[in-house]
Structure 1
Amino acid sequence: MTRYCAFFAAINVAGNRLTMADLRYAFEREEFENVETVVASGNVLFDFEDRPTEGLEELFAYMMLERFDMKTFAAVRNRDEVRSAVEDNPFTGIGQDHLVHTLFLEREADPEKFEKLVADHATRGPEKIARGPRCLYIDYVDGVGPSKLSNAFIERRLGCRGTARNVRSLARIAAKMA
Structure 2
Amino acid sequence: MASSAKKKQAAVRHVALLRGVNVNGITIKSADLKALFVELGFGAVRTVLASGNVLFDTDESDAAALRTRIEQALRKRFGYDAWIVLLTQKTVAEMASGYPFERIDEERHPYIVFGSDAAMLDEIMEKAGTVDAGTEQLKRGKGVLYWQCPRGESLETPVAKLLGKVRYKTSTTTRNLRTVEKLLGD
- Quick one: distance in 2 between partners of 1:132 and 1:52? 23
Residue ranges of structure 2 left out of the alignment (5+ in a row) = 1-10
Q: Is the contact between residue 114 and residue 157 of structure 1 (CA under 8 Å) also seen in structure 2? A: no
Q: Is the contact between residue 131 and residue 138 of structure 2 (CA under 8 Å) also seen in structure 1? A: no
User: Normalising by the residue count of structure 1, what TM-score does the alignment of the two structures yield?
Assistant: 0.84
User: Normalising by the residue count of structure 2, what TM-score does the alignment of the two structures yield?
Assistant: 0.81
Q: Percent identity?
A: 23
Residue type of the partner of 2:35? Y
Select the residue among 113, 118, 137 that pairs with 1:103: 113
Specify whether residues 132 and 155 from structure 1 end up closer, same or farther in structure 2 by C-alpha distance, changes over 3 A only.
farther
Q: Is the contact between residue 34 and residue 46 of structure 1 (CA under 8 Å) also seen in structure 2? A: yes
Q: Is the contact between residue 96 and residue 177 of structure 2 (CA under 8 Å) also seen in structure 1? A: yes
- Quick one: distance in 1 between partners of 2:176 and 2:38? 27
Specify whether residues 17 and 156 from structure 1 end up closer, same or farther in structure 2 by C-alpha distance, changes over 3 A only.
closer
Structure label with greater radius of gyration: 2
Alignment length (residue pairs): 174
- Quick one: distance in 2 between partners of 1:126 and 1:87? 23
2:135 matched residue in structure 1: 126
Specify whether residues 53 and 95 from structure 1 end up closer, same or farther in structure 2 by C-alpha distance, changes over 3 A only.
farther
- Quick one: distance in 2 between partners of 1:114 and 1:145? 16
Residue aligned with 1:59, SS? helix
Which segment drifts farther, 66-75 or 101-110?
Answer: 101-110
Q: Is the contact between residue 98 and residue 167 of structure 1 (CA under 8 Å) also seen in structure 2? A: no
Q: Is the contact between residue 120 and residue 171 of structure 2 (CA under 8 Å) also seen in structure 1? A: no
Residue ranges of structure 1 left out of the alignment (5+ in a row) = none
